[in-house]
Amino acid sequence: MLKASPAFPSFSVDNLDAAKKFYGGTLGIEVKEITGVGVLELHTNGNSPIILYPKDDHEPSTYTVLNFKVDDIAQRQCL
């Protein structure tokens, strides 16, 4: 069902400005702000963008996440 859908990783951060400074400035990764959505995209060579989103009660992740981009989530419900 999701075989043809692009997949992308994402994770939360406690501060988007600090994340932009660290990933863009310190690590030199291309960072794009997604206007009106309040998230950042990290662009690395040859990979799908990595989405960073703010979370007030952010704690470092103890798990991994794989997301799939779909046109209509209602048509893609797996449960």
Q: Write phi, then psi, for 32 (nearest 5 degrees).
A: -120, 135
Assign domain 7-76 to a CATH class.
Answer: alpha beta
Domain boundaries, the chain: 7-76
Alpha helices, DSSP H, located in the chain: 16-20
> pLDDT digit string (tens) for 19-72?
999 999 988 889 999 988 899 999 988 778 999 999 888 887 777 665 667 777
* Cα dihedral: 16, 38, 10, 58 (round 10): 50
Backbone torsion region of residue 38, taken as left when φ is above 0, otherwise alpha when ψ lies between -120 and 50, otherwise beta: left
For residue 62, the model assigns a pLDDT of 79
